[in-house]
């Protein structure tokens, strides 16, 4: 039997829509991931890293209380891969994040899993 595509991976979800966040969490866990945080607010990355490694993050751009670009920069600067899952067009990305991976909502689960696993889609 094949190992789940995200087996053993520790992943963060930043999403302000409860249902979207819950759907993503279930999908990632079914793919073998350990979802270490689901939050509608930007967390303290240093505190999270003290609890163990972070393998990837799935982040919404607009978290209701603000945008997640600074958090994405922190992830990038620390070598943690992330994927924007958003209703916005890629034109909203600031220049320094313009090459970031993003997926439009609603997204196919297979596409999200492949990108978080680092596989070509």
Do 48 and 71 touch, CB atoms closer than 8 A?
no
Segment holding 77, helix H or strand E: helix 69-77
pLDDT at 121: 42
Q: Tokens representing 120? A: 């070509």
Greater pLDDT, 105 or 2: 105
Domain ranges of the chain: 10-116
Q: pTM value?
A: 0.90
Segment 10-50, tens digit of pLDDT? 999 999 999 999 999 999 999 999 999 999 999 999 999 99
Compute the chain's Rg from CA coordinates. Answer: 13
pLDDT at 119: 63
Sign of CA pseudo-dihedral 85, 90, 93, 95: positive
Give the CATH number of domain 10-116.
Answer: 3.40.50.2300
Segment 72-102, tens digit of pLDDT? 999 999 999 999 998 888 888 999 999 898 8
The CA distance from 54 to 15, in Å, is: 17
Sign of CA pseudo-dihedral 38, 15, 78, 27: positive
């Amino acid at each position: 039997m094949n190992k789940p595509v995200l087996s053993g991976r520790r992943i963060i979800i930043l999403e302000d829509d409860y249902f979207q966040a819950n759907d993503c969490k279930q999908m990632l866990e079914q793919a073998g991931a350990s979802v270490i945080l689901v939050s509608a607010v930007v967390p303290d990355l240093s505190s999270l890293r003290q609890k163990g490694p972070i393998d990837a993050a799935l982040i919404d751009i607009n978290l209701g209380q603000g945008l997640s670009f600074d958090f994405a920069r922190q992830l990038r600067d620390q070598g943690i891969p992330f994927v924007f899952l958003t209703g916005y067009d890629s034109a909203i990305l600031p220049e320094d994040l313009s090459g970031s991976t993003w997926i439009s909502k609603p997204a196919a689960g297979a596409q999200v899993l492949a990108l978080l696993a680092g596989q070509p889609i």
